[in-house]
Amino acid sequence: MISPEEHNRMANAIRFLAMDAVEKANSGHPGLPMGMADVATVLFTKYLRFDPKAPHWPNRDRFVLSAGHGSMLLYSVLYLTGYEDMSIEDIKQFRQLGSKTAGHPEYGHASGIETTTGPLGQGLANGVGMAIAERKLNLEFGDLQDHHTYVMCGDGCLMEGISHEAIALAGHLKLNKLILFWDNNSITIDGAVSLSDSTDQIARFKAVHWNTIEVDGHDQDAIAAAIEEAHASDRPTLIACKTIIGFGAPNKQGTHKVHGSPLGADEIAATRKALNWESEPFVIPGDVLDLWRTAGKRSVSTRNDWEAGLASTEAAKKGEFTRRFEGKLPEGFDAAISDYKKKLAETRPTVATRKASEDALEIINGILPETLGGSADLTPSNNTKTSQMHSITPTDFAGRYVHWGIREHGMASAMNGITLHGGLIPYGGGFMIFSDYCRPPIRLAALMGIRVIHVLTHDSIGVGEDGPTHQPVEQMASLRAIPNLMMFRPADATETAECWQIALKTTNRPSGLALTRQNLTAARTEYSEENLCERGAYNLAGSADAQVTIFASGSEVEIAVAARTALEAKGISVRVVSVPCTELFFEQPDAYRTEILGNSPVKIAVEAAVRQGWDAFIGPDGAFVGMKSFGASGPAKDVYKHFGITPEAVVAAAEAKLA
């Protein structure tokens, strides 16, 4: 048992590590770690189930610091509880180039950092995804998956719109193992929260069916009692912790001055006095460190029991559990895609790629029990629900399909959480135009290097009648600009299957599949064992010495092919290069890129989107057939004609360049 005095000293250890590290770095955020130190101490010393010696233990409780600016709270606790890859040296290197202790917690830098946070609100929605994953896997694997997800957020996280998407869904799904600590300190950067917000947060959470508890965030017993009450709840729980930001700094606590600046030598000296802390910076008194290290060993026997449970689990189930958490695909996956491609080479379907995606998913979901599908209320449009997938409901998590509601931002962020949790591969659908609504989590998935798959249908002016608000023009370019994101734009059913295969096999990057609403003729007519999309761009037709090379992606490949036919009829030789993924293409060896780019005197790119990015294929002198403005409402064929994205336009561009 930890006495109240011991607790205070343990919490002060967090406070001093935070203020001293911020002081040394001369930048950072001491306010939150100092304010939430008591909550963190109660949680990590009494409730959180974790083992610093086995940080990836699949059944650990998850802890997410959604208010990522308070990173020093997390780093301190990881060091204090004995994570081997978080040393006092690492703490001293806070915010330095190449250190694990980056300004905001970055996934992969050190174990115990469950997700990258900093963009406020994301961690909360990640936590919802983690809780969904736990609930789903608990049903599938029983005791092997039975843990809580704890999130710590600030006023900022709750003000961000994404928080509402996340909590509304969590309340609806009754994610009762999700517990949110809100650092209710009434302060943000500009000053008092009341400058910009007067939300009754308790009423808000109640309205979306959360259990709510209000505590003094510096009262150890009250915090503990709240956590225990939360554990017994049949709904997710908000624990509103009334805290003093920068607790302990006598002249600055309770003000925005401690949010994000070093306290300064004088104030730190005053805080040392006020909290009766004699140690030098970065020195934790032996008795306090011992208490923390002992707390870090609390769950060792629970973990050992769990390991024994796994060892005695029946072989097939054990194998499946292990495979799933290693993120490996089952045997037979590639063979199934190959068989499917063989069939496509025979049937050569004329089909919209959104439908081709559904057909591919029908095969994929039959083999991969770990896929968790979903859509932001566009299931019939995104074609994301296959025969294997029945809907998850608040009372039935046996399904494999999440109705995310009209919540693109929350969906994408929760999908990140699902992947980070492990054991499942999430894919979610939305209109490509609304990728703008979920860009932050897509970017974070790319930054973290995690496998999350976005099914982005209605990918161009080919949307037609819904008009310019629904027709992506700049989205493809802007998504391609995100480093490490594989943006695919397949041209037919075969390419769609290949892009899905790449997206699923690539464990360290997210993918987006830009898919059409309108039907496309088959670009690929021969079976190829090789996944041609893997190289990002490849020769579809014509030879290297052609006078004209046309590069195209997705729905414009058929326009390029038709233009080729017309030009060849006029005696002009043409090569068509299909470009399903520019990101992968630019990663190919020089020789391959040189070969594909070729040296035709005339180079043309066709894409029903802005030119940005295509100059890398065609150069500044190349001709681009695509969009220069927003789209227009009308039947797709008419809209294409109106904007001059037709085989005739490509032919004209080629002839003009040749002349």
Ligand X SMILES: Cc1ncc(C[n+]2csc(CCOP(=O)(O)OP(=O)(O)O)c2C)c(N)n1
Q: How far is the CB of 31 from Mg ion (least distance, A)?
A: 8
DSSP 8-class letter at 151: E
Residue type, 200: D
Q: Which is nearer to ligand X, 183 or 370 (CB)?
A: 183
**Contact by Cβ (8 Å): 602, 658:** yes
Contact status: 464 vs ligand X (CB under 6 A): no
The item of ligand X, Mg ion, none sharing an interface with residue 517, based on CB under 5 to 8 Å by kind, is none
| Smallest separation, CB 482 to ligand X (Å) | 17
3-class SS of residue 240: strand
Phi and psi, residue 529, nearest 5°: -65, -40
630 three-state secondary structure: coil
Of 149-157, 232-240, 311-319, 466-474, the segment contacting ligand X by CB under 6 A is 149-157
Residue nearest Mg ion by beta-carbon distance: 155
Kindly report the number of other CB atoms within 10 A of residue 619's CB atom.
10
Residues sharing a CB contact under 8 Å with residue 219, sequence separation 6 or more, in sequence order: 38
Q: Which does 120 bind (CB under 5 to 8 A by kind): ligand X, Mg ion, none?
A: ligand X
For the record, the structure tokens of 173 come out as 């799904």
Closer residue to ligand X, CB minimum distance, 188 or 475? 188
Catalytic-labelled residue, pool 408, 495, 498, 583? 408
Q: Which stretch binds ligand X (CB under 6 A): 52-60, 150-158, 314-322, 574-582?
A: 150-158
Quick one: what does residue 430 bind among ligand X, Mg ion, none, with the CB cut-off 5 to 8 Å set by partner type?
Answer: none
Stretch that binds ligand X, among 112-120, 143-151, 348-356, 502-510 (CB under 6 A): 112-120
Q: Are 167 and 16 in contact (CB under 8 A)?
A: no
* Look-up of token digits 């202790």: 101
- The full DSSP string for 639-656 is HHHHTT-SHHHHHHHHHH
In the complex, minimum distance from the CB of residue 512 to Mg ion, in angstroms, rounded to a whole number = 34
The one among 259, 409, 575, 603 contacting ligand X by CB under 6 A: 259
- Name which position in 52, 55, 154, 631 contacts ligand X (CB under 6 A): 154
Distance CA 436, CA 397 (A): 30
CB 448 within 8 A of CB 416: yes
- Min dist. Cβ of residue 243 to ligand X (A): 8
| Residue 118 partner contact from ligand X, Mg ion, none using kind-dependent CB cut-offs of 5 to 8 Å | ligand X
Q: Does 160 bind ligand X (CB under 6 A)?
A: yes
Among 105, 123, 156, 417, the residue binding ligand X under the rule CB under 6 A is: 156
Q: Please report, as a single letter, which amino acid is at residue 402.
A: V
d(CA 65, CA 5): 26
Residue with Cβ nearer ligand X (260 or 264): 260
**Per CB under 6 A, which of residues 5..34 are in contact with ligand X?**
31-32
Q: How far apart are CA 335 and CA 126, in angstroms?
A: 34
Could you tell me if 402 and 373 are in contact, meaning their C-beta atoms sit under 8 angstroms apart?
yes
314 carries an active-site annotation:
no
| Shortest CB 35 distance to Mg ion, Å | 8
By C-beta, is 215 or 376 nearer to Mg ion? 215
Q: Which of 28, 52, 55, 118 binds ligand X (CB under 6 A)?
A: 118
> Angle at CA 104, nearest 5°, toward 99 and 107?
75
Least distance CB 419 / ligand X (angstroms): 21
Q: Whole-number minimum distance, CB 632 to Mg ion, in Å?
A: 46
Sheet holding 211-216, edge to edge: 62-65, 149-153, 178-184, 237-242, 211-216
> Hey, what are 383's tokens?
């074609």
Residue 299 interacts, among ligand X, Mg ion, none and using kind-specific CB cut-offs from 5 to 8 Å, with: none
Candidates 185-193, 218-226, 469-477, 571-579; binding stretch for ligand X (CB under 6 A): 185-193
β-pair partners for 211: 237
Nearer to ligand X, 77 or 645 (CB): 77
Interface residue list for Mg ion (CB under 5 A)? 154-155, 185, 187
Q: Is 187 exposed, middle or buried (0-12, 13-18, 19+ CB in 10 A)?
A: buried
* Given 28, 30, 112, 119, the residue binding ligand X (CB under 6 A): 119
205: exposed, middle or buried (C-beta count within 10 Å: 0-12, 13-18, 19+)?
buried
Q: How many CB atoms lie within 10 A of CB 136?
A: 23
Per the listing, tokens 């299957």 go with 497
Question: Could you say which of Mg ion, ligand X, none residue 114 binds, taking C-beta under 5 to 8 angstroms by partner kind?
Answer: none
Which residue from 27, 143, 161, 189 is in contact with ligand X, where contact means CB under 6 A? 189
Distance CA 583, CA 342 (A): 27
Three-state DSSP class for residue 182: strand
Q: Are 66 and 151 in contact (CB under 8 A)?
A: yes
Contact code string over 51-90 relative to ligand X, x by CB under 6 A: ----------------x-x---------------------
Residue 248 interface partner, choices ligand X, Mg ion, none, CB cut-off 5-8 Å depending on type: none
* 67, interface contact from Mg ion, ligand X, none, CB < 5-8 Å by kind: ligand X
Catalytic residues: 408
Q: Kindly list the residues in this chain that would bind ligand X in the complex (CB under 6 A).
A: 31-32, 67, 69, 118-120, 154-157, 160, 183, 185, 187-189, 245, 259
